[in-house]
Structure 1
Amino acid sequence: MPEPLRLVQVGAGGMGRTWLRTIAADPDVRLVGLVDLDADAARRAADEEGHPGVAVATSLEGLATRDQAEALVNVTVPVAHHAVTTGALRAGLPVLSEKPLAETVAEGLSMVAAAEVADRLVMVSQSRRYWRNLSAFRAQVARLGELGSVSCEFFKAPHFGGFREEMAHPLLVDMAIHQFDLARDLVGAEPVSVYCESFNPPWSWFGGDAAADVVFAFEGGVRFSFTGSWCSPGLETSWNGRWRVSGAGGTAVWDGDGVPVAEDADGAALPAVVPDEPEQIAGSLAEFVRVLRDGGVPSGEVHANVLSLAMVEAATTSAAAGRRVSIAEVLKAAYAQAIEAEADDAVRDRLRSWTSVHEAVGQRSVEV
């Protein structure tokens, strides 16, 4: 049996503690260091979440056990994702990062190029791809033949306080990336364009738009519709949303929590086969470790994950402009911004070396 993969984690806040517990419960990994701007908070989190005595520091450079690490888990706030991930890559460490990849698509493209320069894996933990009942749903969808429409309803009423209630597009930016990313997974193709209308109900406790109606066109003509609200008390949906997928061979539905249900075109039930596998961030951690050991391309690999981030940026652009926005135009603008803003000469050269930004991130259908 191989030795546990030695990890350094950056970030010891609320989500950081969740990751610490997950790492402690996984025999395939071992924490060798924890970094946080608040060293006392890092010490408490490590000691209380299953890693007593592990080395702590306020920077990766200041961590005494840095040279022992084989990979880094980035659980910082989104504004720090780019700096922490690129710093880890320069240190030769592959990275598993909390979502979103970055605050902007331009920063995401910089991270793609940095991963190429370092020749190291960067994977985003899109944790809502890892649910046993979702795996059953995914298998049912694969039996529906050619897909026509995918829809997700998302209605919750959380009172977070803090930065989310001050964002211009809290639902789209902080939450909907999960559902947008999952739509890519279920459709098995990439988004081409989007039309979005966002708004804020009169009773909303959010400062920005907490509700939205969104329609994406995907390669091959599949449509994905998302309607959601973060200020919708009563009869709330799952945090995963409520899904319906319709294809030439039948329909599958999933309430986001329980076992999914599907029928073929003749009305015969398509059974749900629920596997026994790690869920949520434990699932993404297990895949990260497996790929580092055995090779392959994981779900959430940085090149493709940029398109999930681009879906969010395109949706907010559409909402602000009141028009349909193509994913290609978002990538084109972000690519120019990434080159202009890049401070690392090697990363800038790699960005400029790309024949096409669309090819670099796997967007096959380019519509401007």
Structure 2
Amino acid sequence: MTFAVLPADAGRVRVVVVGAGPMGRAWLHTIVADDAIELVGIADLAVDVADDAAGEIGMAALPTGPDGVELARRTGAQAIVDVTVPAAHHPVTLAALRAGLPVLGEKPAAATVAEALSLAAAAQLTGQLFMVSQSRRYNDHLFAARAAAQRLGRAGILSVDFFKAPHFGGFRDEMASPLLLDMAIHQFDMARFVLGADPVSVLCDEYNPAWSWYAGDAAATAAFAFEGGERFVFTGSWCSPGQETSWNGAWRLSAERGTVLWDGDNPPTVDAGGDGAGGADGAGRVAAPAAPGDGIAGSLREFAVALRTGAEPMGRVHENILSLAMVEAAMLSAREGRRVTLDEILEASLATALGVERDPEVRAVMAGWASPRDALRAGV
């Protein structure tokens, strides 16, 4: 499915940021540093917080308000950057899409797969781009690991260890599944990117160490089967002090003609059995193709390019939903102690979305899908 692009003479992309909390402020600093983007407003239900954020970036006179769409209309914005809490992603993004505004949203696409399917249908209905910023894909070393994997033939097992001990405070400390829902989606999405394949099923064990400061389960092991027979195993903890891994995790890919190792921070290394198939130099380092940019700056840049050219960006909602579905499948598997298929999650989520959708036109789009997986593969 194509999406609307800006006029050729549109110049810088004019955006309103919705959400002025800590992550919103990180986005604000990134936006004002990008010559292709013009920040024209900040929206937050707490307008004084938006005003404070504007002052923090040296733009105290910037228009602010409680409603992103109203502020976009008032300032002539051409797009919304949604950096609200996950529970607000669906109403904020839906309102923007229905107002004819493309959206770049923080991950996850929505609080649930059902809500994400609704947003995919809304993007299809309106012809507007909804792109999810899965920011850890924007990493030169990850691109190099993927390139090496492609040269090593069929993948067998891709594994990642993730051990950190952050004291966030706030909503993460109270979440039911903080590691899986707020962090593991990054590694799940990165695994899809490295393997160039999609998941079929998962068996997951989730638990909370006795010393954990989180209310919900902060540790998990999830083993996914992928459509080509590959396996992806995630093992992690968010209450593991000492010898912490990178925020990206520590990766190992075992493939047909060799192995790729990546510590998450430095360039990956490859052992191709001495035949050079991995494309490494003499030190075993992999030649690194460039990512479109780094972190949220990369996703912002790709969003702007997509709006100008119509080029398909990473993280477009229909492509991103399976990463969120991996999270819900892992959580259900842990709760019920059984293997869960991704299609089970997608079908149940579509049924839920159809049952609760208040917009009849959005509901009609979803009702017309032969199956959610087929609709996502077709780019809805």
Of 321, 325, 333, which residue of structure 1 is paired with 2:336? 321
Of 243, 253, 266, which residue of structure 1 is paired with 2:261? 253
Per-residue deviation, 1:291: 0.9
Contact 2:292 2:301 survives alignment (8 Å): no
Q: In the TM superposition, what are the counterparts of 1:162-181 in structure 2 within 5 Å?
A: 162-181=170-189
- Work out the percentage of aligned pairs sharing the same amino acid: 55
- Aligned AA (1:315): A
Aligned residue in 2 for 1:95: 103
Of 50, 54, 76, which residue of structure 2 is paired with 1:46? 54
Aligned residue in 1 for 2:314: 299
1:195 aligns with 2:203: yes
- Aligned AA (2:99): A
RMSD: 1.7
Per-residue deviation, 1:363: 9.1
CA offsets 1:244-301 (integer angstroms, 9 cap, x no match): 1111121111100111111213365624223385200000001111111111221111
- Identify unmatched segments of 5+ residues in structure 1: none
1:340 aligns with 2:348: no
Contact 1:190 1:363 survives alignment (8 Å): no
Aligned residue in 1 for 2:287: 273
CA distance in 1, matches of 2:160, 2:76: 44
1:240 aligns with 2:254: no
| Structure 1 residues 160 and 67: alpha-carbon distance in aligned structure 2, compared to 1, 3 A threshold | closer
Contact 2:41 2:75 survives alignment (8 Å): no
Contact 2:292 2:302 survives alignment (8 Å): no
| Structure 1 residues 21 and 51: alpha-carbon distance in aligned structure 2, compared to 1, 3 A threshold | same
CA offsets 1:148-175 (integer angstroms, 9 cap, x no match): 1100000001111222222221111111
CA distance in 1, matches of 2:179, 2:229: 26
Aligned residue in 1 for 2:3: none
- Identify unmatched segments of 5+ residues in structure 2: 1-8
Of 310, 322, 345, which residue of structure 2 is paired with 1:330? 345
Contact 2:69 2:96 survives alignment (8 Å): no
SS in 1 for 2:351: helix
- Aligned AA (1:337): T
| Structure 1 residues 345 and 301: alpha-carbon distance in aligned structure 2, compared to 1, 3 A threshold | same
- Aligned AA (1:89): L
| Structure 1 residues 183 and 50: alpha-carbon distance in aligned structure 2, compared to 1, 3 A threshold | farther
- Aligned AA (2:347): K
Aligned residue in 2 for 1:282: 297
Contact 2:68 2:80 survives alignment (8 Å): no
Aligned residue in 2 for 1:128: 136
Contact 1:168 1:207 survives alignment (8 Å): yes
Contact 1:144 1:248 survives alignment (8 Å): yes
Of 119, 122, 137, which residue of structure 2 is paired with 1:114? 122
Contact 2:16 2:71 survives alignment (8 Å): no
Contact 1:238 1:256 survives alignment (8 Å): yes
CA distance in 2, matches of 1:133, 1:260: 6
Contact 2:142 2:194 survives alignment (8 Å): no
Contact 1:24 1:50 survives alignment (8 Å): no
CA distance in 1, matches of 2:367, 2:89: 22
- Aligned AA (2:344): E
Of 53, 57, 67, which residue of structure 1 is paired with 2:65? 57
CA distance in 1, matches of 2:60, 2:12: 17
| Structure 1 residues 62 and 296: alpha-carbon distance in aligned structure 2, compared to 1, 3 A threshold | closer
Contact 2:251 2:264 survives alignment (8 Å): yes
Aligned residue in 1 for 2:150: 142
**Normalized against structure 1, the TM-score is what?**
0.95
CA offsets 1:343-364 (integer angstroms, 9 cap, x no match): 0010011110112211011299
Of 316, 323, 338, which residue of structure 2 is paired with 1:308? 323
Aligned residue in 2 for 1:78: 86
CA distance in 2, matches of 1:2, 1:104: 35
Per-residue deviation, 1:64: 6.9
SS in 2 for 1:244: strand
Aligned residue in 2 for 1:29: 37
Q: Which moved more, 1:210-219 or 1:59-68?
A: 59-68
| Structure 1 residues 17 and 325: alpha-carbon distance in aligned structure 2, compared to 1, 3 A threshold | same
SS in 1 for 2:81: strand
| Structure 1 residues 266 and 315: alpha-carbon distance in aligned structure 2, compared to 1, 3 A threshold | same
